[in-house]
């Protein structure tokens, strides 16, 4: 954000609908309208706090660094009377952390040990069940003879 737009809480309070949803977190004024449908907790949670200072609620939930980095993506300004530390430096660092922490995955490759373990997990119960039914068959046939 090249210029620091300053908003009052009264101005933020005018943006509290599904089509125009703003709130304040830690002095940052956020326009989360486009994020409503993507929010993991559902849009209702965000709409409850629309037009308000949601700093306490945001902190109480314990959002990840990725979520904190996303705040900067939706920031449209700062709340009057608050100073937000070096927004551009924060933005680049937080976005970098958000990308790093966002979605990560790893692949477990099947080695020979895993393949034999999977085979054993299938074959051993099959052998036990087969042995039980064979024993029952032999004992039932022997008792009828």
Overall fold of domain 6-101: Flavocytochrome B2; Chain A, domain 1 (3.10.120)
Q: Is 28 helix (H, G, I), strand (E, B) or coil?
A: strand
Q: pLDDT tens for residues 13-56?
A: 999 899 999 999 989 999 999 998 888 888 898 899 899 999 89
Q: pLDDT tens for residues 71-130?
A: 888 999 999 887 776 544 445 555 555 555 555 555 555 566 677 777 788 899 999 999
pTM metric for this prediction: 0.56
With a CB cutoff of 8 Å and minimum separation 6, the contacts of 55 are: 24, 25, 26, 27
All structural domains of the chain with their residue ranges: 6-101, 109-144
């Amino acid at each position: 954000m090249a210029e620091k737009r300053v908003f009052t809480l009264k101005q933020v309070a005018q943006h509290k609908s599904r089509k125009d949803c703003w709130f304040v977190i830690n002095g940052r004024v956020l326009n989360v309208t486009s994020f409503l449908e993507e929010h993991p907790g559902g849009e209702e949670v965000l709409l409850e706090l629309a037009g308000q200072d949601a700093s306490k609620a945001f902190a109480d939930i314990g959002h990840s660094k990725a979520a904190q980095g996303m705040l900067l993506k939706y920031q449209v300004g700062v709340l009057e009377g608050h100073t937000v530390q070096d927004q551009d430096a924060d933005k680049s660092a937080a976005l970098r952390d958000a990308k790093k922490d966002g979605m990560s995955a790893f692949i477990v490759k099947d080695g020979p040990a895993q393949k034999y373990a999977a085979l054993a997990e299938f074959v051993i119960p099959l052998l036990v069940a087969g042995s039980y039914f064979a024993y029952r068959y032999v004992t039932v046939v022997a008792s009828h003879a």
